[in-house]
Structure 1
Amino acid sequence: MVTTAPKAEVPAAPGPAVPGRGPAVAAADADPPPADQRTVPRQKDGVPRSRAVRTRPPGAEHEVGSDPLDHADPAVAAEAAAVENLLRCWVRETGLGRPDGPAGTPLRIPLAASGAVLLVTVRHWSRAGWHRFAGARIEAAPGDAPGLDAVTLAALIAREGAYRDGDGNGNGNGTADLVGRVADSVRRTAEFIADRRARPVAPAAVEADRFLTAEQSLLLGHPLQPDPKSREGLSETEARRYSPELHGSFPLHWFAVAPSALATDSAWTEGGRPVSAARLLARLAPGLPLPAGATPLPLHPWQARELLQRPAVTALRDAGLLHDLGPYGDPWYPTSSVRTVHRPGAPAMLKLSLGLRITNSRRENLRKELHRGVEVHRLLRTGLAEQWQAAHPRFDIVRDPAWVAVDAPDGTPVPGLDALLRHNPFRPGDDAVCVAALTSPRPWPGRATMSSRLAEIVRSLAVATGRTTSAVAAEWFLRYLDHVVLPVLAFDALAGIALEAHQQNTLVLLDPAGWPAGGRYRDNQGYYFRESHRAELENRLPGIGSASDTFVSDAVTDERFAYYLGINNVLGVIGAFGSQQLADERVLLAAFRRFLGKAAGLGPLPARLLDSPTLRCKANLLTRLGGLDELVGPVDTQSVYVTIANPLHG
C-alpha cells in the first residue's frame, strides 16, 4: 500500500513565529511585503472580496508601470500576451539567462540570422520560467519607435530558428506556419478578451455548472505556447459557436453506423451491470431516428462537414454502411480543449475528433488512444484504484470507459469517425478547475485589470483570515502539493504508471473557501506504462498494452514525467504565484524541495527533480518550427526537447 509522505513545510525565515499558525505561515509572515495595495471588489466564482490587501511579496521584481495585459484596447492586450509567450518560449528553449545589471536592464537577444539584437523590457524574471516582459524592440531602432508586434517577432524568431538548424538563409519551412498561426492566435485572443469584457457573466446554463464555467474561462492559454489560441480553419461564425472562450454551444451532428462497420468497446457499468456504448449514446440523444440495428455516432459539426468531403466516408455512405442523420438534440458546450464537449446533467462527456490544428496537433482520436481509455478503466477496477485511494481518497482519474468508431470494409480504422465517452464525475456545484484556467489572467466584472482565479482566491483568503498574501499563497501551495501532486507520485510508485499531468490535464478540487481539497487527472492519451513494470501490469490485466501501445522505456518515462508534472505543472504554479505578485518564488521552490525530500520513496521522480542539475523540457516553439505533430510517431520523437537548468537543484 502507498503511504502518504509527511506534509511539506516552508523553510522558516528569520523572525518570530505567529501565534496559532503553522510553520508555513510563520515563514511567510516573518518578512511582510511592501505596502503595495490594491482594492479588490466583490466578484463571482465563489470569491467574495471587499477590502484592500497587500499584493507584492518579498522578492517581487516587477517594474513600476501598468500591465500591458490591462490595456483598454483588446487588440493591444492580445498583442502583449502573444509577444510575452514568444519571448518566454525563446528564452527557455535557447537557454538565455537573466540580464546582468541593475533593475531595469533590458534583456539582449542576439539574432544572428537577421544581424540584429532585440532589447526586451523585463517586468519580472521568474526562476520557474513565467517571466513577464513589456515589449521588445530592435536595438538600433530610434528610442521612440514602437515595440515589435507579435507577427514581426514571430518572423524574426522563426528565421533565427531555421538559421540555427543549418539553413543559412533562415527560410525554414516552419517560418510561414508559425507567423500565420501567431497572427491567428492574436486575432482570436483579442476577440476573446473583448467579448469577456463586454459579457463578463456567463449565460445562465453555463454559470449554473461550476465545472463548465471554469472550463470556459481560459482566455489566454498556456504561457509557454507560441500560439495558444490558433484555430486555423474556423470561420468567424464557426468560432463563435465552437469556442469555449465565447461561451459557444451547438447541437451535435449524428451519424448511424451499420453493424458491419462498427468498432466499439465499453467497460461502462451501472449498478454492476455492463452498459454498451450504443445504449449510452442513445440515452444522450433520445428520439434520434436510427435505421434498424444501427448504432448512433455523434460528431463535432465542423468535423462532420469535413468528413463528408473525404472519399472514404463517401464510399461508406454509398455502401449503406454510414447514414448522415444531421444535427440533433440539445446543445453541448465545448470545454477548454475545444473538442471535448459537456452538457450539464449528462452522465457522460464526449471527446470528439476535430481535425483543426490546436497547439501542436490535429485533434483526431487515434484508435490506440480509444483502447487506452478503456484499458486504464479496467486496470483501475482490478483493485488498483482502491489500493491507491486508500491513502489518497480525494484524487482520481476521470475515466474514459467506452467508445464507438468506424472501420472500413477491409477492417482498417476510418480516421476521424469516432467518439469517446468520458465519465462526468462533477455535480453542478463542484468547484473543479484545470490548473491552466486557475492560473491564467482574465477579465473580471467591473474591473479594468485582468487577474487569475488563483489570485482572486489568494487575495480573498488573505482578507478573510487577516493574513498576508504571501502567507496564504504558501499554505495554498503546500495543500496543492499534498492533494494533487502527491497522489500522482504515489500512483507511479504503486503501479509503474506516470500520468501526463500537465496544467490542462490536471484538475484541482477547491473547497468553499478556495483551498485545494482534491484533484482529478483526465486524458486518455497521457499514460506512460513503465517497461520495468510490464510483468506486474500484465498480471493485473492480461494483454494490457497490446492494442493501446502504452508501454514506454523507463528512461523516456522519467524524462516526460519530470517535464509534465515537475516543470509544466508544479513549476508552472510556482511561476504563476511569482509573476502575479502573490508569493516569492524562492520560498515556494524551497517548499517544493522539502516536499520532494519527504516523498523520496514514491518512485524515481522526486530524486530526479532534486538531484539533477539540468532537466529535459519540451520546447513548444521549436516543436512548432520543426513541423511536428505530437500525436504522430513514436512517443520519444513526437516533440522537441531541450535541456534547461533545474531551479530546484542545489
Structure 2
Amino acid sequence: MSNLLDTPPGNHPAVAADRAAVDNLLRCWVRETGVERPSDGVLRLDLPASGTGVEAPVLYWSPVGWHRFGPARLRTGTPASATALAALLGVEAAAGDPASVTDLTARVADSVRRVEEFVRVRAAAPEDPAGTTAFLAGEQALITGHPLHPTPKSREGLTEAETARYSPETRGGFPLHWFAADPSVVSADSSLGRTAQEVLASLAGDGIAPPPGTVLVPAHPWQARDVTGRPAVRALLDAGLLHDLGPAGPAWSPTSSVRTVYRADAPVMLKFSLGLRITNSRRENMRSELHRGLAVDRLLSAGLAGALHAAHPTFDVVRDPAWLAVDAPDTPEEHATGLDVVVRANPFGADAAVQGVCVAGLVAPRPELPGGRSWLATLVHGLAERTGRPVGEVAEEWFARYAERVVAPVLWLYARYGLGLEAHQQNTLVVLDEEGRPAGGRYRDNQGYYFSPGRSDALYGWVPGIGRDLGTYVADEVIDERLAYYVGINNLLGLAGALGSQGLADEERLLRLADRFLAGQCAEHGDRLRLAALLRDEPVLRCKANLLTRVHGMDELTGPLEAQSVYVDIANPIAEVRK
C-alpha cells in the first residue's frame, strides 16, 4: 500500500504551514456544508457571496472526512493561500457579518504563522532530546494541530519570544511564577492526604521565601503577567493580601493543551488558567471544573477505580486530586482573579513502567520530517517490517486492538455507570507495548465528565448524589450526541481517517472493523449503550462544526452545555459502509 505522506506538502516551512491550513479549511467546509465527493477528482466550491469559486485536486477522499488536497486555486487560476481561502469561506458562512470574517481570517493567519515557526524549529532539531519521556514526546508531536479545525494553532496574545518559550511544539520550558497569598483569600481542596497548599509548596524549592503565614500560589508566567493588570488582583496586591514573588524553581514543560505543565521528576502535573484564546476559547479554569475533577477522583477512590480495573485492567483515568485558587472579596468566584491551579497526578514520570502517549500527537503528520511520516506510521511500518506482514494487515490489527483496549473501557463506564468521558484524541492517551501496539489507555481532563440522570445512580453507593451539582448532569440525548462526536467521530473514526489518509490501511475495511466492534458493544451492553447502536445504525450523526463555531464567535467553555458549539448532521460512514 502506498504511503500518501511520501508526497509531502512542501519542504519549506511556510509552504508546509499554508498547505496544512488550506487542507484544514477545505476539510471543514466539506464536512460542515455537506459537499459530496467529486466524480472527477477535483473539488469545486461555488462561493456566490464573493462571486467566485475555489478548486483543488483531491489527493485522497476519506469516508470519515480526513481528506487530502492539492494546491487550491481560484477559478481564475490564482493560487488561494490559507488566509485568502479563510476570507472567502468566512464571507459565505458569516451571513454578512464583516467582524466575523475579519476575526476568522486573522486567526487563520496567526495559526499559519505559528505552524511555520514550529516546522522551522523542529526541522532544525527533529529528534527528541535525550531523557524525554514517551509521554512528553507525544505531547510535543502535534505540530499542525487538529486536522478539522480552521485555526488549530491560533494563540492570540503570545509574542514570538513567548511562543518559543511556552509552546510544546518548540519544546519550550520555563520556571513557574510564584505568588504568596493571605490564607483568607485562598480556597483549596485535596484528597491526597496532604493539603493542596502543602503539595504546591513542596514544588517551590529553596529559592523562594514567602512572607510568614502566607500560602504559596504558582502560576503560568504568562498568566502571572496578565492577571496583575486585573482590578481584582491589583486590589489584593495593594491591600497586602497577595505578594508577587516572581519566577523560581526548575523548568516545567508545556503539554499539548499549552496550559498544563509537566516535569518528569515531579509527582504531579499542574493545570493553570491561561487567559489566551487558544483555538476557540480562553483557557481559564472554571470553579465547577476544579470541583468536578476532585469529585471524580474521590469517586474513583471510593470504588469506581476498582470496578474499572476489574473489567478493564489496562485502562485508567488520570486524576485531578487537588486544586487551589485565589479569591477576591466581594467578587464572584468564577474568573475573579485567574490565579488558580489544578493538581493533576503524574503517572508518567521518568521511571514509570507505563507511558501514555497522546493519540492526537501519535497520529499527526510531522511536516518537519522528510516525508512527513507520523509517529503512528513509523510504528506500523516498523511492525510490518519486523513481522514480514503487509502494512495494511498490521494497521487493521492496530486499529482493532485500539478499539478494544482504549475505546471499549470508555463505553463500559458510560453503559454501566452513566459516566461519560469526553475522550477525544487529545484527551486520550494510548499505552503501547514493546512492539508499539496498543496495550491500554488513559483518559485525562476535568472538563469532560458527563453524568447521566438515568444511570448515574449506579455510582451513588460510593458517593451519594455524585454529579448532580457538577455542571454536566444532562439528559442522555445530550451525552449521546457529545460522545458520538468525541468518542465516535473524533477518536475512533478519526483513527481510521488517520490510517487511511496516511496510506496505511483501506479505510472502508477499518470502518467494517469499527462496525463489528460496535456490534460487540451492543451485544454486551444492550439498551444501556444506545450510543453504540446510534454509531452503527443512524444514517446521520451530529458532528461538531469547528469552522462554523469559530465564525459564530462561540466560546466552547461558557454558556449552557447544549449551546457551546455548532453541530451539523453528517452522513454516518459506518452505516454507509454497511449498505
Q: TM-score, normalised by structure 1?
A: 0.85
- Asked if residue 114 in structure 1 is aligned to residue 46 in structure 2, the reply is no
Give the alignment of 1:548-587 within 5 angstroms. 548-587=470-509
Deviation string 1:352-404 (CA, Å, 9 cap, x unpaired) is: 11011111110000000000000000111221111121020110010001000
Residue aligned with 1:628, SS: coil
* Residue type of the alignment partner of 2:454: S
Q: Any residues of structure 2 matched to 1:524-603 within 5 Å, and which?
A: 524-545=446-467, 547-600=469-522, 601-602=524-525, 603=529
Matched residue, 2:86: 154
Paired residue type of 1:72: N
User: Structure 1 vs Structure 2: percent identity of aligned residues?
Assistant: 56
Match of 1:330 in 2: 250
Distance 1:411 1:640 in 2: 32
2:314 alignment partner in structure 1: 394
Corresponding residue number in structure 1 for 2:198:
279
Q: Which amino acid aligns with 1:380?
A: L
> Is the CA contact 1:388–1:494 (under 8 Å) kept in the aligned structure 2?
no
Distance 2:504 2:468 in 1: 47
Normalising by the residue count of structure 2, what TM-score does the alignment of the two structures yield? 0.95
State the Cα distance separating 1:171 from its structure 2 match. Answer: 3.4
Partner of 1:91: 30
User: Aligned residue for 2:180?
Assistant: 256
Shift of 1:543: 4.6
CA distance in 1: counterparts of 2:93 and 2:149, whole angstroms = 16
Rounded to whole Å, the distance in 1 between the matches of 2:519 and 2:469 is: 37
**Aligned residues of 1:188 and 1:229 also touching (Cα < 8 A):** yes
- Whether the aligned pair in 2 keeps the contact of 1:203 and 1:247 (CA below 8 Å) is no
Question: How many pairs are equivalent?
Answer: 567
What is the SS of the residue equivalent to 1:193? helix
Which residue, 136, 142, 156 being the options, matches 1:212?
136
- What's the counterpart of residue 509 of structure 1? 431
Instruction: Give the AA of the match of 2:324.
Output: V
- Listed as ranges, the matches of 1:290-439 within 5 Å are 290-410=210-330, 412-413=332-333, 414-428=336-350, 430-439=354-363
SS of 1:517 mapped into structure 2: strand
Please tell me whether the aligned partners of residues 6 and 372 of structure 2 are also in contact (alpha carbons under 8 angstroms). no
Distance 1:251 1:475, change over 3 A: same
Q: Residue 21 of structure 2 is aligned with which of 82, 91, 116?
A: 82
The letter of the residue matching 2:122 is R
Alignment-mate amino acid for residue 37 of structure 2: R
AA aligned to 1:584 is D
Equivalent pair of 1:556/1:636 in contact (CA under 8 Å): yes
Partners of 1:535 and 1:482 lie apart in 2 by 26
- Structure having the higher helix fraction is 2
For 2:544, give the aligned amino acid: K
Query: What displacement does 1:451 show?
Result: 0.8
- CA RMSD in angstroms, aligned pairs only: 1.5
1:411 is displaced (CA, Å) by 6.3
Q: Is the 8 A contact 2:308 2:316 kept in 1?
A: no
Whole-angstrom CA distance in 2 between matches of 1:570 and 1:257:
45
SS at match of 2:311: coil
Cα pair 2:179 2:242 within 8 Å, conserved: yes
Residue number in structure 2 paired with 1:635 = 561
In structure 2, give the amino acid aligned to 1:279: E
The letter of the residue matching 1:196 is R
| Matching residue of 1:50 | none
Query: What are the superposed Cα offsets for residues 410-448 of structure 1, whole Å, 9 maximum, x if unpaired?
Result: 36322411000000011326442111101101156xx52
CA distance in 1, matches of 2:55, 2:473: 46
Moved more, 275-284 or 538-547: 538-547
Asked whether the equivalents of residues 567 and 617 of structure 1 are also in contact (C-alpha less than 8 Å), the reply is yes
1:246 aligns with 2:185: no
Q: Is the 8 A contact 1:497 1:529 kept in 2?
A: yes
- Give the Cα separation in 1 of the matches to 2:536 and 2:356: 30
The Cα offsets for residues 281-321 of structure 1, whole Å up to 9 and x where unpaired, read as 11111223122222211111110100001111011112222
Q: Which runs of 5+ in 2 are unaligned?
A: none
Contiguous gaps of at least 5 residues in structure 1: 1-32, 34-54, 57-61, 164-169, 269-273
Task: For 1:364 and 1:97, locate their aligned partners in 2 and report how far apart those are by CA, in whole Å.
Answer: 39
Secondary structure of 2:71 counterpart:
strand
Question: 2: CA distance between counterparts of 1:195 and 1:582?
Answer: 28
- Contact kept, 8 Å, 2:230 with 2:337, in 1: the verdict is no
Partner of 1:127: 63
Deviations 1:323-361 (A, max 9, x none): 111101011000111000001110000001101111111
8 A Cα contact 2:417 2:457, kept in partner: no
Q: What SS does structure 2 have at the residue aligned with 1:248?
A: coil
For 1:562 and 1:585, locate their aligned partners in 2 and report how far apart those are by CA, in whole Å: 19
Among 398, 416, 440, the residue aligned to 1:518: 440
Give the SS at the match of 1:420.
strand
Name whichever of 317-326 and 514-523 sits farther off.
317-326
* Greater Rg by CA: 1
Q: One-letter code of the match for 2:35? A: L
Q: Take 2:84 and 2:539, find their aligned partners in 1: how far apart are those partners?
A: 35
Partner of 1:604, secondary structure, is helix
